[in-house]
A and B are shown apart, each in its own frame.
Chain A
Amino acid sequence: MAMAIIFKTVNYTYQPDTPFEQQALDNISVEIPTGSYTALIGHTGSGKSTFLQHLNGLLRPTSGEILIGEQIITTETKNKELGELRKHVGIVFQFPEAQLFEETVIKDIAFAPKNFGKTEAEAEIIARKMARQVGLGEELLTKSPFELSGGQMRRVAIAGILAMEPEVLVLDEPTAGLDPKGRLEMMRMFKRLKEEQNLTVVLVTHQMDDVANYADNVIVLEEGKLIANGTPSEIFSQPDWLVEHHLALPKAGEFALAFEKKTGYKFSTLPLTEVSLARQIASLLHEGGGDVHHG
């Protein structure tokens, strides 16, 4: 089932008509194509979390409409109509280990599929499969989730969302608070899952390296407004614009800029990932690095 997500002039206001009124989304029109790996970036308070909560109907737009697959969400959409949508859009919230509550790991992972109508036995089969997918050993499954380490708890929580077998997987800073190794493993895992299960992935992140390495579509929010939408190479092509909006380049890009400044060499396209940076420098050296001025 195609699950393109289309926002049409969506506004969202918190506590309207009170002194605490606050517009969190301001006239947002954007499309998240099916099968894309979309990165959502922006500062704290830019409306990312509000945006996310619209993706499975936790919030409904104050005005405008959202198309997710067949479902249209407007301000009048009833809660009851959203159950079906929540099955298809899995959201991994920030620090998702806070949502664990069951007695055993396996029960916690099987919680969502059971809620969405799977039988006990079916849910357990899915839960075992997903536990394997996220790299949780068999011996952990009968333990209490509260006995596990932070990284393991995170994996349990993520497996709990994957067990819904969603078509759209939304990840809100899934690697926050993990060590570098855990971070890399987790990002690779999402990439593999996306490819194997043909997911649409929406990733909220502050790590520009992750944007450059994994995403093929970038949405930039600032104070509730959409200020840019394009591929990572489009978004990162104007360093001045990035500075103006307090965004950073991926590390490889920063290195490349410093390299250009120091050597006077101009890259044909600014490398954004370590791999492409290494390739470009390698081919440069190969062609005759003698042209590079060592200054």
Chain B
Amino acid sequence: MGKVLLGRYVPGDSIVHQMDPRAKLILSFFFIIIIFLANNWQSYVLLLTLTIGSIMAAKVNFAFFIKGVRPLIWLILFTVLLQIFFSSGGTIFWRWGPFNLSYFGLINGAYVFCRFVLIIFMSTLLTLTTAPLEIADALEKLMMPLKKIKVPVYEISLMLSIALRFVPTLMDETAKIMNAQRSRGVNFGEGNIMQQIKSVVPLLVPLFVSSFNRAEDLATAMEARGYRGGEGRTKYRVHYWHTSDTTGCAVFVIVMLILLFVRHW
């Protein structure tokens, strides 16, 4: 289970890897917004081309993207089925109570499916090519303007970094405690639901206890080394905005303009 969350970053030196994490973050959000502008097959082909192009530029194995879709496939199928059976219009092929299978329904279902897959591909691309801590850094930078309205930006980003940092530690801890409790006769993932719920208690209690202890230790260690909040701190990783970042943004904006045109084909 160690590979679910963090094993997703695949180090590399492609153009996409080297882009400023801020640019990648902005572009991912931008993509999610403009995908809602797409309303015909031509526009989806355009966005698909953009996605494939980005993936090729990142030089990451395509299998990772398929894996990214897999855990969400039931959610996607559920949404697609809702679209198919509850939208009406066009030729109606079949009807039963509130359900009907219409031409528009089928088209809408296909669009929703594409939308989901493209969004997942693009966000998978972000996490595959950007180390988690870089994403946290980028978020901090991008949220800076919010400081003006008293949003605790440094604290939020510190919390994010610490959370990311301790995911592997927590996983190790979980594995250790599971081993210890298994040795004491707990069978995880066996028996009926009540037994399974009961078997979680000997795992969760020690995990909470050790997390709280660790949090205290970490706070002490940080204060001992002079941490006084994020105000005025410099960064270990400094990000520079390169021409390639500007180019990347330009490509996405151009795609959006074409999209606006294609919409009214």
How close is B133's CB to chain A, nearest CB, in angstroms? Answer: 21
Q: Are A99 and B185 in contact (CB under 8 A)?
A: no
Q: Are B185 and A87 in contact (CB under 8 A)?
A: yes
Q: Are A111 and B180 in contact (CB under 8 A)?
A: no
Q: Are B183 and A90 in contact (CB under 8 A)?
A: yes
Q: Are A98 and B202 in contact (CB under 8 A)?
A: no
B50-58, B136-144, B203-211: which lies at the A interface?
B203-211
Q: A residues within 8 A CB of B183? A: 56, 58, 86, 89-91, 93, 161
Task: Tell me the complex Cα distance, A276–B234, Å.
Answer: 61
Cβ of B176 within 8 Å of any chain A Cβ, yes or no, is: yes
Q: Are A83 and B187 in contact (CB under 8 A)?
A: yes
Task: Tell me the complex Cα distance, A99–B210, Å.
Answer: 10
Given known pairs A53-B179, A96-B180, A99-B177, the reply for A83 and B185 (CB within 8 Å) is: yes
Cβ of B63 within 8 Å of any chain A Cβ, yes or no, is: no
How close is B178's CB to chain A, nearest CB, in angstroms? Answer: 9
Among candidates A53, A58, A86, A96, residue contacting B185 with C-beta atoms closer than 8 Å: A86
Cβ of B181 within 8 Å of any chain A Cβ, yes or no, is: yes
Task: Tell me the complex Cα distance, A161–B179, Å.
Answer: 13
Among candidates B177, B182, B185, residue contacting A98 with C-beta atoms closer than 8 Å: B177
How close is B43's CB to chain A, nearest CB, in angstroms? Answer: 39
* A-B contacts, CB under 8 A, total: 55
Task: Tell me the complex Cα distance, A56–B185, Å.
Answer: 11
**B183's closest neighbor in chain A, by CB?**
A91
Q: Are B201 and A101 in contact (CB under 8 A)?
A: yes
Q: B residues within 8 A CB of A87? A: 185
**B185's closest neighbor in chain A, by CB?**
A115
Q: A residues within 8 A CB of B202? A: 99, 101, 111
Task: Tell me the complex Cα distance, A93–B179, Å.
Answer: 9
Q: Are A164 and B184 in contact (CB under 8 A)?
A: yes
Cβ of A116 within 8 Å of any chain B Cβ, yes or no, is: yes
Task: Tell me the complex Cα distance, A99–B177, Å.
Answer: 6
Binary CB contact string for chain B from 190 to 220 against chain A (1 if under 8 A, 0 otherwise): 1000000000011001100110000000000
Q: Are A93 and B185 in contact (CB under 8 A)?
A: no
Task: Tell me the complex Cα distance, A111–B182, Å.
Answer: 12
Q: Are B206 and A101 in contact (CB under 8 A)?
A: yes
How close is A66's CB to chain B, nearest CB, in angstroms? Answer: 16
Summarize B's interface: helix, strand, loop or mixed: helix
Task: Tell me the complex Cα distance, A89–B206, Å.
Answer: 22
Q: B residues within 8 A CB of A91? A: 180, 183
**B208's closest neighbor in chain A, by CB?**
A101
Q: Are A99 and B206 in contact (CB under 8 A)?
A: yes
Among candidates B176, B201, B210, residue contacting A93 with C-beta atoms closer than 8 Å: B176
Q: A residues within 8 A CB of B186? A: 115
For window 86-117 of A, CB contacts with B under 8 Å fall at 86-87, 89-91, 93, 96, 98-101, 111-112, 115-116
Binary CB contact string for chain A from 113 to 135 against chain B (1 if under 8 A, 0 otherwise): 00110000000000000000000
How close is B236's CB to chain A, nearest CB, in angstroms? Answer: 27
Among candidates A83, A99, A164, residue contacting B181 with C-beta atoms closer than 8 Å: A99
How close is B87's CB to chain A, nearest CB, in angstroms? Answer: 44
Cβ of A174 within 8 Å of any chain B Cβ, yes or no, is: no
How close is A53's CB to chain B, nearest CB, in angstroms? Answer: 7
How close is B92's CB to chain A, nearest CB, in angstroms? Answer: 50
How close is B199's CB to chain A, nearest CB, in angstroms? Answer: 10
Task: Tell me the complex Cα distance, A79–B181, Å.
Answer: 15
Q: Are B184 and A112 in contact (CB under 8 A)?
A: yes
How close is B2's CB to chain A, nearest CB, in angstroms? Answer: 9
For window 157-193 of B, CB contacts with A under 8 Å fall at 173, 176-177, 179-187, 190
Q: Are A101 and B185 in contact (CB under 8 A)?
A: no
Known: A58-B179, A115-B185, A161-B183. 8 other contacts (CB 8 A): A86-B182, A98-B176, A98-B180, A99-B206, A101-B206, A112-B184, A161-B184, A164-B184
Provide a sorted-by-A list of 24 A–B residue pairs whose CB atoms are within 8 angstroms: A53-B179, A56-B183, A58-B179, A58-B182, A58-B183, A79-B190, A83-B187, A86-B183, A87-B185, A89-B183, A90-B183, A91-B180, A91-B183, A98-B177, A98-B209, A99-B181, A99-B202, A99-B206, A101-B205, A101-B209, A112-B184, A115-B185, A115-B186, A116-B185
Chain A residues packing against B (C-beta within 8 Å) = 53, 56, 58, 79, 83, 86-87, 89-91, 93, 96, 98-101, 111-112, 115-116, 146, 160-161, 164
Closest 6 CB pairs of A and B: A115-B185, A101-B205, A112-B184, A99-B180, A91-B183, A116-B185
